A = this chain, B = another copy of it.
Amino acid sequence: MERKFIKDFQENTNISGFFIVFAKDLRKTKSDKNYLDLTLMDKTGSINAKIWDNVEDFTAKFEKGEAVAVKAQVTSFNEELQLRIESIRRANVEQDSVYGFALADLLPSSTKDPEKMWSEVQQAIQSLQNRFLKAVVQNIYTENEEKIKTHPASMILHHAFRHGLLEHTHSMLRIAEGVCQNYAELDRDLVITGILLHDIGKLIELEPGLTTDYTDSGNFVGHVVLGRDILLQAIAKISDFPEVLKLKLEHIILSHQGKLEWQSPKEPAFLEALIVYFIDEIDTRFDQMKREIESDRSTGDWTNKMNYFHRVLYKGE
């Protein structure tokens, strides 16, 4: 019985594997018999699963949000695949890693190599000429290295996966190079620093884990203002940090959503702030459109309109 990921499941085969329990509901059949209705997830997708027998035993063995080891048969219902579970139990690293259990396999994750992205981001930091900007970024990136490497960039909208924040930042830095070369008026150091720090408040706003959620700080205050806090704490450790430079960095973070109605308390008031906003916008919308096109299940060459853009998108070649 082969170890497979969800995207490779085929009808009428038996599988074993590890998954995260995304949803778990106890229901009754028409004939009043209990069963468990689950949604299981690994990094390649999600699938509905049912437990028809021994429901009372099994339901005690795991909770929603946990990682589980599963044996099941792949069936189908309404033309979608479904698992009929034969056994299920909580998984854990000590016991199950010999069977191939690794949390990284369960969580959707960037398709790019995080260490390579991290290394290129470090080069961008090294390239900064302004010693104040370089110091403030180094402080923040050194102190938060582990978090920055693994954090998602959002809950749902874009780069909503492990390493998502790093992938988003890394992608923006690559776009920024061409933009800064094109416009002689731009202070490249300020643009690069702005990109590196614009979403840093996400480290506080979002609580990653097996499933991502907003923290209380995230809901009460929001990543835009929280990111400025991280900036100001780092600046406070650097002597003689120029006042206007500090204000400009604060403003870039506060205005990076670009529009007041997107929770930015200020809109871009100078060229570098405008550019950080636009590069963020490009990378965000690009990721959203790519995913909407990939995930649409309509027949034919066009998606339906039920997506972020509220319009049909072209899926053909």
Q: Which residue numbers of A lie inside 8 Å of B, CB to CB?
A: 25-30, 32, 75-79, 171, 174-179, 181-183, 185, 213-214, 216-217, 219-222, 224-225, 228, 243-244, 247-248, 250-251, 254, 260-271, 274-275, 278, 281-282, 285-286, 289-290, 293, 300-302, 309, 311-314, 316-317
Contacts and interface: CB of A to CB of B under 8 A. Distances in A.
* Copies in the assembly, this chain: 6
Contact of A265 (B32, B264, B281, B282): B264
Contact of A79 (B25, B269, B271, B274): B25
A236 to B, nearest CB: 12
A219 B274 contact: no
Contacts of A243: 216
Nearest to A257: B265
B178 A179 contact: yes
Nearest to A315: B270
B314 A270 contact: yes
Contacts of A225: 225, 228, 254, 265
Contact of A269 (B171, B179, B220, B275): B220
Contacts of A176: 178
B185 A178 contact: no
B260 A312 contact: no
A183 B176 CA distance: 13
Contacts of A261: 260-261
A278 B281 CA distance: 9
A79 B251 CA distance: 35
A224 B79 CA distance: 38
Contacts of A214: 302, 312
A79 to B, nearest CB: 6
B182 A220 contact: no
A78 B262 CA distance: 37
Contact of A285 (B262, B278, B286): B278
A269 B222 contact: no
Given A28-B77, A268-B289, 19 more contacts: A28-B75, A28-B78, A177-B178, A178-B178, A216-B247, A216-B301, A219-B269, A219-B302, A219-B314, A220-B250, A221-B228, A221-B250, A222-B266, A260-B261, A270-B313, A274-B285, A274-B286, A275-B282, A282-B282
